[in-house]
Chains A and B, each alone.
Chain A
Amino acid sequence: MKPGKFTYHTPTNLEDAFRLLGEYDGEAKIIAGGQSLIPIMNLRLAQPEHLIDINGIEEISTINIDGDLVRIGALVRHGEIESSDTLKQKLPILPYTATRIAHLAIRNRGTIGGSLCNADPSAEWSLIAILLDAKMEISSMRGNRSVVATDFIQSIYTVDIEPDEILNSITFSLLAHNEGWSVKQICRRAGDFAIVSVAATIALDDKGNIYRLRLCLGGMDSTPIRLTAVEQSAKGMTPDDGWIKDVASEAALAGTPESDMHASAEYRREIAAHLTTEALIEAVNRCKGVGK
């Protein structure tokens, strides 16, 4: 239950971090909040030779809002997102989602970038990044590149990041002014990874018909999945009970959920339908200004 030996490095800027990554090619691991890495090091499931601690890199530690874009540095803690008054006002889905992550003490240390790079299929940030088409800014000695969350998160614990690269920031677009949102999940216990989670945004036009639907399900596949066919066919529909019921039935058929110690595949499908119903109702209500 104690971690193995490692050499500890503390770069204070990205360039030094890149240089260290190059120097210890393949033997180094980056540590941000460490709330997933240190447990597996304690259990000796991971034993990196070199640990590059990026906690001192200030350039990736801030939340910036520029027009319609919210740029969150990879090193921003879940707890900072949860308590950000600016985000509560501008993009409240983010602070709300943060409250659903693990426990208070974990949220005070864990980072959004670390969670996304870890890519647990049930992680809240993966769900929301994919729902909101977030852009991941990735940096290395070779320069910067940007990749959308859907492409970044490739599979369980697998992301599109090369050994010499570091996730720099995540950029979200604000919701439209008439766009409602909802995040629902079911956990065995508070703070556990969700068995199934559902996130949705709905924008309505002047007539109250759907202008844009985004619907994302976690826990149903090796990554969170967008229901793109359902989203496309939703355009112009009236979000009444009948429509919600149809979408919920579609959600139950999504992905290829597995049976494991937490839940059977069949149960996951049942929860997916149930949570989709709840999420759509809440998103429509928020859109109409009910219970805002």
Chain B
Amino acid sequence: MKKTPITLNINGRDYFMDIEPRKLLSDAIREDARLTGTHVGCEHGVCGACTVLVDGKPQRSCLTFAVQMQGKEITTIEAVQKNDGNLSPLQQAMHEEHGLQCGFCTPGIIVTFEAYLKNNPNPSEDEIRDVLSGNLCRCTGYQNIIRAIKKAAAVMRGEEGAI
């Protein structure tokens, strides 16, 4: 099958790649852009591990073809860490609250909530749980993830000592 040359903008950088139209965005990110922080779990949209931001909004990278994403700004977990090398408030809170064990689901959860907390700085626990329902975690039982998200939200609101 003929390969098509495309340009993907990932984390602010252009990647030129020759791909078949059937190549999933998740595979293009991992195999062609060599950004392996985005994880591939179920490949049919259920687990949320492959979630990336497309123009700032969480989307499943396994449920889009890379060829469809030209002209979009894609953000992956690699871009979450701050330029000075420090963790983002959400990454820091996940670390402090033991919000991960094996870490497979973590990139999907973090990019989802980096975007969500930007638009919803003060979510209730119910709202957090509703959004988190899109990401399966088999290790933690979710409690520590929820705690971490609440803590990160408080830190991002400037209430560092709040929790």
- Residues of chain A having any CB pair with chain B under 8 Å: 1-8, 34-35, 38-39, 42-43, 51, 53, 55, 79, 102-106, 108-109, 189-191
Tell me which residues across on chain A come within 8 A of B21, comparing CB atoms.
6-8, 51
Across the interface, B44 reaches (CB within 8 A) one of A6, A39, A109, namely A39
Chain B residues with CB under 8 A of A108: 54, 57-59
7 closest A-B pairs by beta carbon, nearest first, are A103-B134, A190-B133, A8-B21, A39-B44, A105-B58, A108-B57, A1-B43
Neighbour of B58 across the interface among A34, A55, A104, A190, CB < 8 A = A104
- The contact sample of 20 A-B pairs, CB cut-off 8 A, is A3-B22, A6-B21, A8-B21, A34-B65, A35-B45, A35-B60, A38-B44, A38-B62, A39-B44, A42-B43, A103-B48, A104-B116, A104-B134, A105-B58, A106-B134, A108-B54, A108-B59, A109-B59, A190-B130, A190-B133
- Our pick among B1, B20, B51, B130 for the contact of A105 (Cβ within 8 Å) is B51
Whether the pair A105, B112 counts as a contact (CB closer than 8 A) is: yes
Cross-chain contact A2 with B54 (CB below 8 angstroms): no
Contact of A189 among B51, B62, B116, B133 (CB under 8 A): B133
Residues of A contacting B68 in the complex (Cβ-Cβ under 8 angstroms): 34, 53, 55
Partner of A38, one of B45, B129, B131: B45
Measured CB to CB, the closest approach of chain B to A189, in angstroms, equals 7
A6/B22 contact (C-beta < 8 A), A38-B45, A79-B57, A105-B51 known: yes
A106 touches B67 (CB 8 A): no
In the complex, residue of chain B having the shortest beta-carbon distance to the beta carbon of A45:
B44
User: Which B residues from 55 to 105 make CB contacts under 8 A with A?
Assistant: 57-60, 62-65, 67-68
Contact between B133 and A106, CB atoms less than 8 A apart? no
Q: Which residues of A contact B146 (CB under 8 A)?
A: none
Q: Which of A3, A35, A55, A103 sits near B133, CB closer than 8 Å?
A: A103
Chain A residues whose C-beta falls within 8 Å of the C-beta of B64 in the assembled complex: 34, 38, 109
Q: Flag whether B24 is at the interface (Cβ < 8 A).
A: yes
B residues within 8 A CB of A6?
21-22
- The minimal Cβ–Cβ distance linking A120 to chain B, given in whole angstroms, is 14
Which residues B1-45 have CB closer than 8 A to chain A?
1, 4, 20-22, 24, 27, 43-45
Bound CA–CA A190/B44 (angstroms): 17
Instruction: List chain A residues, Cβ under 8 A from B133.
Output: 103, 189-191
Q: Say whether B63 contacts A39, CB under 8 Å.
A: yes
A55 to B70, CA, bound (A): 12
A229→B43 CA distance, assembly (Å): 44
Q: Are B116 and A38 neighbours in the complex by a CB distance under 8 Å? A: no
How far is A39 from B4 in the complex, measured between Cα atoms in Å?
22
